[in-house]
Amino acid sequence: MKLAAILVAAGRGTRAGGTLPKQWQALAGRRVFDWSYQALASHPAVDTVIAVVHPDDASQVPDGVEAVLGGATRAASVKAGLVALEGRSFTHVLIHDGARACLSTEIIDAVVAGLQTHDAAAPALPVSDALWLGEAGEVAGTQSRENLYRAQTPQGFDLVKIAAAHKNADNTAADDVAVARAAGLAVAIVEGHEDNLKVTTPDDFARAERILRAQSGVQMDIRLGNGFDVHAFTTGNAVILCGVTVPHTKALLGHSDADVGMHAVTDAIYGALAEGDIGRHFPPSDAQWKGAASDIFLKHACELALERGYTITNIDCTLICEQPKIGPHAAAMQSEMSRIMALAPDRISIKATTSERLGFTGREEGIAALATATLVKP
């Protein structure tokens, strides 16, 4: 047996959220795609792996990975992978979903063993839950779960036979096993695993993270970031601090709204992610950010942390100034930061101190802020 693998990674994955298709999003220190690819490429029975990607994602493919462009449907993408294997002396092929990042060696072993006696083999799990038929949001009947299975990948096939089956298929099959059965191929069921989940929704990322860290022995990733910012006073009658307008005899000078507290918190989050500071992401040379509300910057930092798989567990921000007095407004600041960050108020600390009349803050020339952010990846 000479075995190739096709990693289907051309989908858009919109249900998973994020700014990138799910296969390119971060997961346990890598991307979903990288985990899936490595599981196949590192298996001793697999001679080569071909990734099938969307044309818009060609730049995401790592150097050294063989890739072809997929089509508008999953079936079309699989066909593109099969065409790339033509004439290369492979006898069998595994077809795997790029979003199944928790694939184990044992599942691949089981599929390969199934191909010793069958033209096709695929992992599956027996359905254990009760099944209902629903109509208009109500239970309209029940369905027997006897002999029902939940399909997984990789699904393995005799290469010549599955290629011929796909050429004659109408592209409506649910998966490659359905294509094989329509062509008359017998498909062996091998044992799957609950951990071999397909990342589909945002919640799946957290579960897959736990599985992969357990499999690889990676410990919890805790990151700490610091942020510091300073803004000078200018003429005006109020300052904006941590999203709250505080009446004062002066305003703060800045390219944006000069919210020194929110800037420090934002930089603390960027720092924990090793992503520089606000200026890297929102350059002051760009006129579109002149006078911008600082919550734009903070929300971006929070979203970036989420995309990387981190949870912001707490924020501690200290405002350093003689005036205005922060205490009467601290609760409102805490509430506003909680709203912007979608973080519980008891995880956000806003406090103030003076510099004992020393330095520029002591001379009431401006306000400084120091912030710390803690980010955790399970």
What pLDDT score was predicted for residue 15? 74
Write the pLDDT tens digit of every residue in 158-168. Answer: 999 999 999 98
User: Do 120 and 35 share a domain, yes or no?
Assistant: yes
Looking at the structure of the chain, the number of domains it has is: 2
DSSP strands (E only) in the chain: 3-9, 26-27, 30-31, 46-53, 66-69, 92-97, 120-126, 131-135, 138-143, 149-151, 155-158, 187-191, 221-235, 238-241, 244-247, 250-252, 311-320, 348-353, 366-377
pLDDT of 172 over the 80 cut: no
208-211 own/partner pairs: CB under 8 Å, 24+ apart: 208/27, 208/28, 208/32, 208/101, 208/102, 209/27, 209/28, 209/309, 209/377, 209/378, 210/378, 211/102
C-alpha pair distances (Å), 17 with each of 108, 333, 342: 29, 29, 16
pLDDT of 377 over the 90 cut: no
pLDDT of 220 over the 80 cut: no
Q: How far apart are CA 257 and CA 259, in angstroms?
A: 6
Q: How far apart are CA 333 and CA 340, in angstroms?
A: 11
User: Do 207 and 282 share a domain, yes or no?
Assistant: no
User: Do 184 and 324 share a domain, yes or no?
Assistant: no
What pLDDT score was predicted for residue 378? 65
Which of the residue ranges 10-14, 223-227, 336-340, 355-359 would you say has the lowest mean pLDDT?
Answer: 10-14
User: Do 253 and 369 share a domain, yes or no?
Assistant: yes
pLDDT of 135 over the 80 cut: yes
pTM score: 0.62
Name the DSSP letter for residue 219: P
Please state the rounded mean pLDDT for residues 195-219. 86
User: Do 61 and 201 share a domain, yes or no?
Assistant: yes
Name the DSSP letter for residue 306: H
More confident position, 40 or 217: 40
User: Do 307 and 174 share a domain, yes or no?
Assistant: no
Which of the residue ranges 13-27, 231-245, 258-272 would you say has the lowest mean pLDDT?
Answer: 13-27
CATH code, 194: 3.90.550.10
**Phi then psi for 243, rounded to 5 degrees?**
85, 0
Q: How far apart are CA 335 and CA 351, in angstroms?
A: 13
User: Do 225 and 210 share a domain, yes or no?
Assistant: no
Last residue of a domain, one of 168, 200, 216: 216
Last residue of a domain, one of 188, 216, 244: 216
CATH code, 359: 3.30.1330.50
Please state the rounded mean pLDDT for residues 170-176. 84
pLDDT of 171 over the 90 cut: no
C-alpha pair distances (Å), 58 with each of 51, 52, 95: 10, 9, 20
Q: b/e per residue, 152-191, with b = 16+ CB within 10 A?
A: bbbbbbbbebbbebbeebeeebebbbbbbeebebebbbbe
Assess contact for 263 and 297: CB atoms under 8 A.
yes
User: Do 152 and 261 share a domain, yes or no?
Assistant: no
User: Do 31 and 171 share a domain, yes or no?
Assistant: yes
Please state the rounded mean pLDDT for residues 181-207. 94
pLDDT of 2 over the 90 cut: yes
Last residue of a domain, one of 149, 184, 216: 216
What pLDDT score was predicted for residue 180? 96
C-alpha pair distances (Å), 65 with each of 37, 41, 78: 9, 10, 17
pLDDT of 44 over the 80 cut: yes
pLDDT of 16 over the 80 cut: no
Write the pLDDT tens digit of every residue in 289-322. Answer: 888 999 999 999 999 999 888 999 999 999 999 9
What pLDDT score was predicted for residue 36? 96
User: Do 209 and 170 share a domain, yes or no?
Assistant: yes
What pLDDT score was predicted for residue 219? 63
Q: DSSP secondary structure string, 240-298? A: EETTEEEE-SEEE--SS---HHHHHHHHHHHHHTT---HHHHS-TTSGGGTT--THHHH
Q: What share of the chain is helix, strand, coil (3-state, %, to 5)?
A: 35, 30, 35
**Confidence at 246, pLDDT banded by 50, 70, 90:** very high
Token digits for 92? Answer: 């069998």
Residue where the block lists tokens 């760009």: 286
User: Do 208 and 250 share a domain, yes or no?
Assistant: no
**Where in the sequence is the domain holding 191, given as residue range(s)?**
3-216
Average pLDDT, rounded, for the chain: 93
Please state the rounded mean pLDDT for residues 128-149. 94
User: Do 243 and 210 share a domain, yes or no?
Assistant: no
**Confidence at 98, pLDDT banded by 50, 70, 90:** very high
Q: How far apart are CA 348 and CA 360, in angstroms?
A: 27
